[in-house]
Structure 1
Amino acid sequence: MSRTMGFTSHARYKCLEDLQKDSVDLCLTYCGWEYCESGYRFGPNKREAYVLHVVKEGKGTLEINKKKYKLGPKDAFLIPPGVEAWYEADKEEPWRYMWIGFVGLKADECVSGAGFSLKNPTRKIGCMEKISDYIDRMLEAHQLSYGDELTRNALLMLCFAAFMEDYAKNSAEDGTNSGRSYPGFVYVKHAMEYMKEHYSEPLKIGQLADFIGINRSYLTSSFKKVVGCSPQEFLVNLRIEKAKSLLKKTDLSINAVAASVGYADQLAFSKVFKQHCGKSPRMYREEKMELIVMRAKGYTAQEKM
């Protein structure tokens, strides 16, 4: 069994997609850039990963969370996983943009630190050249080797370092604050740290709230405002990401993997895993990666590697 990773290189479109999600903390899943055609529209749809776009030139429109945003050069916009959105290039001055898609346990923290949230999904950036260089280098590292995988994820971290530095500088200049100013942020941070340390143990959200010293409803509402999901969803995602790493990188039995991530019942673990990944733990472990190189967007594969 195999799965494909696509690489497309064309004068107006360059993209790397369907990357293996092996890094638990922060992992690149796709990246690219495109000179969009007049009026080109994508969506509405929902993503499985975060996707962050940066507009290099031209104009376009984003609709997300029932709001429309008119965007231009140096605007960046975030679409969180599970959130419906669409975006469209201007008919007179269609935009050229670049993007990164990513998942991982630190994804929420990176997004917040870079100044993005569902409430504030767009902002101006002053680090365009750095981000453009990092994405170009990601695209160059498109082979299936472990070295290229490490290179892509290292460049993803450099992207967020640039975004965070830029946001901190802008916030200091205009007096704005990030989500860290929200009163419940400190509780959410404690809850996330506790779950990362104890995900392999039986863990109930009510008990977690008691441990932190707040009620469950306040923890849940704070989590949704800061992270974009409930504490239970975060815990399940955490366990599944850990399980995926164990399945790919160890020879542990499925039952042992389930126990290692807090599931005493292998059947229950397999059911949750399939709901999140679209395949059983055994199928996920057995699938192999295959690189497909294409001449242009939407073209038939040119070669396999």
Structure 2
Amino acid sequence: MNYLFEQSNILNSPYEAFISDTRTDCFPIKAHWHYFMEIIYMLEGTALIECNKEEYILEAGDMILFHPQALHSIYTASQEPLKYGVLKFNISSLHISSNYTPKLSAVFKCAEGNPLAPIFFSSETLSRLPIKEYFLSCIEELHTKDYGYDIRFQAFVSSMLVEILRIWRRNGLNTDKAVLIPSDQDSFHTILEYIDEHSNESLRVEALAAICHMSYSYFAKKFHELYGQSCKDYIEFIKISKVKDLLLFTDLDLNYISQELGFSDCSHLIRIFKKKVGVTPKQYRLSHSSTSTYSN
């Protein structure tokens, strides 16, 4: 089934949120799968969606959720064009939780395939919920990328997922079972979460392979196979992404930023940043000074 795997930019963009319109976008969406979660909210038209051999008809106000690795496709069920909101994200990267619930990723993993946790939600079921507002807010946050946009995005997505869990719990789903799922810290598919949480350290691919109980060569090969780039390149990308935010939204100097994000020194940071972004950190900060809070 490897040929159905979607080589998405979700690795380089941990969150995606956009409006898809069949009048301008490539369509239909043929069968594919990926390692991130995807939610679709219908705005206009009637869609025929297939997910793991099941068919669903979605009209305006309906929503569907695709679990990671679910095989799915999208077609039109009428002559009308389709317009729908799309959210794509790594659920393991959502850090919002309470002191009495397991992680969202564990709960949704527990719910996969459970008849009490359907992936389709009718407009009637969602009628009193601000789902459309959540979608539009997510899209706006990722479009403007204002201060704290990632926090706002995670908050809106987490709120939506909580609404979904409440619906499932009313159906009788026992979300408490998720606490019985063994910790997935050493799972290969959650290593991205580990990299994100430890990006301020000097991460070594050998150490990451050991966390996953794999040899260096197998881990490196598997990472590139799944994500389309080397683990070293991904680590650099995460660090550079955080450097960008610190340049845009703080007045911290490069020496501090390089130490904060685990670069060997300021020169190392400048060299990697220019290689990845095409300009120096100072040039990047100056060119974005009109939209950021601070500038040099």
- What TM-score, normalized to structure 2? 0.59
* One-letter amino acid of the structure 1 residue matched with residue 49 of structure 2: L
Post-superposition offset of 1:37? 3.8
The residue type equivalent to 2:65 in the other structure is: L
Q: Residues of 2 paired with 1:277 and 1:76: CA distance?
A: 28
- CA 62–195 in structure 1, closer or farther in 2 if over 3 Å, else same: same
Q: Amino acid of the residue matched to residue 121 of structure 2?
A: R
Say which SS state the counterpart of residue 249 (structure 1) adopts.
coil
Q: Give the drift of 1:74.
A: 2.9
Q: Give the aligned partner of residue 244 of structure 1.
A: 195
Correspondence for 1:269 among 219, 222, 235: 219
CA distance in 1, matches of 2:32, 2:214: 35
Match of 2:64 in 1: 77
Query: In structure 1, the residue corresponding to 2:148 is in which secondary structure?
Result: helix
What is the rounded CA distance, in whole Å, between the counterparts of 1:103 and 1:115 in structure 2? 19
Call closer, same or farther: CA 1:93–1:152 in 2, change over 3 Å: same
- Higher RCO (C-alpha under 8 Å, 6+ residues apart): 1
Which aligned pairs between 1:13-92 and structure 2 lie closer than 5 A? Answer: 18=9, 29-37=15-23, 40-92=27-79
Q: 1:51: how far off? A: 1.0
Percent identity for Structure 1 against Structure 2? 15
Bigger proportion of residues as strand: 1
Does residue 149 in structure 1 map to residue 150 in structure 2?
Answer: yes
Matched, 1:254 2:205: yes
Partner of 2:234: 284
3-state SS of paired residue (1:109): helix
* Shift of residue 34, structure 1, vs aligned partner: 3.5
Deviation string, structure 1 residues 216-273 (Cα, Å, up to 9, x no partner): xxxxxxxxxxxxxxxxxxx3213x23443256332233334444x2447433433333
Instruction: Mark the CA change 1:40 to 1:110 in structure 2 (over 3 Å): closer, same or farther.
Output: same
- Measured in 2, the distance between the counterparts of 1:241 and 1:97 equals 28
Correspondence 1:190-201 to 2 at 5 A: 190=180, 192=181, 194-196=182-184, 199=185
**Structure 1 residue runs without a partner (length 5+):** 1-16, 23-27, 201-234, 291-303
CA 1:279/1:91 → structure 2, altered by over 3 Å: closer, same or farther?
same
The structural deviation recorded for 1:61 is: 0.8
| Structure 1 residues 257 and 63: CA distance shift in structure 2, 3 A | closer
The 1:114–1:134 alpha-carbon spacing in structure 2 relative to 1, beyond 3 Å, is: farther
Residue 47 of structure 1, CA deviation? 2.8
- Matched letter for residue 255 of structure 1: E
Over the aligned positions, Cα root-mean-square deviation in angstroms equals: 4.0
Q: How far is 1:157 from its partner?
A: 0.7
Answer yes or no: is the 8 Å Cα contact 1:55–1:97 preserved in 2: yes
Structure 2: 5+ residue stretches without partners: 1-7, 93-103, 245-286, 289-296
Check the 8 A contact 1:62/1:70 in 2, yes or no.
Answer: yes
**SS of alignment partner, residue 199 of structure 2:** helix
- Alpha-carbon offset, residue 20 of structure 1: 5.8
Q: Which residue of 2 aligns with 1:102?
A: 89
C-alpha distance in structure 2 between counterparts of 1:108 and 1:118, whole Å: 16
Q: Is the 8 A contact 2:30 2:73 kept in 1?
A: yes
Instruction: Decide whether the 8 Å contact of 1:247 with 1:281 is kept in 2.
Output: no
TM-score of the aligned structures, taking structure 1 as reference length: 0.58
Pair 1:189–1:266, CA change in 2 (3 A): same
Please state how far the C-alpha of 1:156 moved relative to its aligned partner: 1.0
Q: For residues 108-147 of structure 1, what are the structure 2 equivalents within 5 Å? A: 109-110=107-108, 120-124=118-122, 125-127=125-127, 130-142=130-142, 143=144, 147=148
